[in-house]
Amino acid sequence: MKETQKTTKKHLDLGQILDSATLFQPQPCIYYLINASDEVVYVGQTMSLYPRLLNHKFSGKEFVRFSFIPCDEIDLDRLEQEAIARFQPELNKAPVTTPTSSHLSKQLICLKHNITPIAFERLREAFGLQPVSSFGNVKYYKPEDVDAWLKRFKGLVMTGGRHVLQARPQYLAVGISSRTKQIQLYTKR
């Protein structure tokens, strides 16, 4: 009877979370992490609540309780954004960083200059393109550095077909695909 009341209220303390894994069947839901002052400090979405709560606990997010609302998978993004807008939780706010509006991400460089992502990484390493900032896992590059970097290897590729980056232990070359017209990486074993 006691567990039924807990499930109905959808509030448990952290010790109960860890002890009650069987209560949580994988299901899409929006969840709220709540601190000791009864403030929502984080809003998230998940398909499986128990592993996500453990992940938050071990990553250092401080919360003493949580609440969750089961929903359809199709509604996850919308409901999460609405909850974040309503509660404005402290841990959902983006960290203050250097503006990246004038900088280019790997994805943008690949699209703009028709380079495959794998070729981008190898060429970045081989020709020394260094990021100037990052946000999460995304690295940003100065446009002028990208232009200089492109000039260094594009001339080699355009004139000679393929430019060998390394011959051993595995052959790596960069060139332009005749089919896709993308700058890409070639390998031989």
Q: What is the C-alpha R_g of the chain?
A: 24
In a domain, 99, yes or no: no
Q: Which residues of the chain have pLDDT under 50?
A: 1-10
Give the count of domains, the chain.
2
What CATH number is attached to the domain comprising 67? 3.40.1440.10
Residues 117-162: tens digit of each pLDDT: 877 887 777 777 788 887 777 888 888 888 887 776 665 555 556 6
3-state secondary structure of 172: strand
| Separation between Cα atoms, residue 96 and residue 59, nearest integer Å | 20
Q: How many other C-beta atoms lie within 10 A of the C-beta of residue 68?
A: 20
In a domain, 171, yes or no: yes
Q: How many residues does the chain have?
A: 189
Residues 124 and 147 in one domain: yes
Write the CB contacts of 173 (distance below 8 Å, at least 6 apart in sequence): 162, 163, 164, 165, 185, 186, 187
Per-residue model confidence (pLDDT) at position 20: 60
Do 184 and 116 meet the contact criterion of CB atoms below 8 Å apart? yes
In a domain, 160, yes or no: yes
